[in-house]
Amino acid sequence: MYKQIFFDFDSTLVHAETLDLLADLAGVGPEVRRLTEASMNGEIPIEAVFEKKLAMIAPSHAMISRLHEIHPPFVEGVQELVAILHRLGKDVYILTSNFGLIVAPYAEELAIRPERVIANDLFHDEQGNYLGMDASNALAHTDGKRIMIDRHIKNKQEAVMIGDSVTDLACQGSVKTFIGFAGVVARESVRAQADIFVEEPNALALLPHLLTKQELDAL
Ligand SMILES: [Mg+2]
């Protein structure tokens, strides 16, 4: 059945919007959160706010290290879920408009290979001060995840995307199935259009939707 399994990162694999947490560290939390919510719900396009948000946060190496120390937790069941998928030989990806530097330690903990982490890039000077983000990366745009999934997909019929927001939903036409995962936050705009909508707070609830009966029986 599914061979390539794409997960969104924030509010899908981890119980947080990590850029919002970085905004808190930078003292611009409320302003940035307002922009995040509006873009996740599809009220304003990502490209209208993303670079602005990042400029407000200005995430330095030191701030990102602090975030990693705080280590917002994985969604319950995520480590077990990914371990099972790996054991069954599935190719597990993280597809996020977040940044490689921020996501990397989580990917490592989940044993997701670096080449299966599809993320944007941040630029820093030699002292680790924030210089900017790669605004030319497709992921800085509303349909960026769809563009990236199209680049990485091997067989649409064997691909599934799982995420919480409208930017994840935009991948729907490029994969066999889009699963809206509301374990962290339920978005009505996603619920309305997702092929499958999973509301349990534990990510293991995704398993029956990802595996064949045969695969499930063999666990
Ligand atoms: Mg998300």
Query: DSSP letter string over 83-143?
Result: HHHHHTT-EEEEEEEEEHHHHHHHHHHTT--GGGEEEE-EEE-TT--EEEE-TTSGGGSTT
In a domain, 86, yes or no: yes
With 90 as the cut, is the pLDDT of residue 90 above it? yes
In a domain, 38, yes or no: no
Average pLDDT over residues 85-94: 97
The alpha carbon of 126 and the centre of ligand 1 are apart by a number of angstroms equal to 30
**How close is the Cα of 218 to the center of ligand 1, in Å?**
31
State the average pLDDT over residues 22-38: 90
Span 40-55, average pLDDT: 82
Would you say residue 32 lies in a domain?
Answer: no
pLDDT in the model for residue 142: 80
* Cα 165 to averaged position of ligand 1 atoms, centre (Å): 6
Distances (CA, A) of 61 to 32, 56, 64, 102, 131: 19, 15, 5, 10, 11
Cα 131 to averaged position of ligand 1 atoms, centre (Å): 25
pLDDT digits (tens, 9 = 90+) for 166-201: 889 999 999 999 999 999 999 999 999 999 999 999
Domain interval for residue 180: 4-15+73-217
Question: 102 CA to middle of ligand 1, Å?
Answer: 14
Asked if residue 78 has pLDDT above 90, the reply is yes
Residue 101 CA to ligand 1 centre (angstroms) = 17
Task: Examine the pLDDT at 42 and tell me if it is beyond 90.
Answer: no
Residue 167 dihedral angles phi and psi, to the nearest 5°:
-70, -25
128 CA to middle of ligand 1, Å? 26
Is residue 206 assigned to a domain? yes
Ligand 1 center from residue 170 Cα (angstroms): 12
Is residue 52 one of the residues assigned to a domain?
Answer: no
pLDDT recorded at residue 1: 86
Q: Determine the distance separating the centroid of ligand 1 and the alpha carbon of 117, expressed in angstroms.
A: 15
Tell me the mean pLDDT in the region 37-52. 79
Classify burial at 162, counting beta carbons within 10 Å of its beta carbon; exposed 0-12, middle 13-18, buried 19 or more: buried
Q: Give the whole-angstrom CA distance, residue 114 versus residue 189.
A: 31
pLDDT of residue 2: 97
Q: Is the pTM of this model over 0.75?
A: yes
Q: Per the structure, how many domains does the chain have?
A: 1
What is the CA(29)–ligand 1 centre distance, in A?
A: 17
Report if residue 120 sits inside a domain.
yes
Calculate the average pLDDT of the chain.
94
What does the pLDDT look like over 129-152, one tens digit per residue? 999 999 999 999 888 999 999 999
The domain that contains 102 carries what CATH number? Answer: 3.40.50.1000
Dist. CA 24 → ligand 1 center (Å)? 18
Going from the Cα of 90 to the center of ligand 1, the distance in angstroms, rounded, reads 21
**Distance from the alpha carbon of residue 106 to the mean position of ligand 1, in angstroms:** 15
Ligand 1 centre from 89 Cα, in Å?
Answer: 25
Instruction: Tell me, yes or no, whether 139 lies in a domain.
Output: yes
Q: How far is the CA of 212 from the centre of ligand 1 (A)?
A: 26
Structure tokens at 211: 């595996």
Residue 169 covered by a domain: yes
Q: 164 alpha carbon to ligand 1 midpoint, in Å?
A: 5
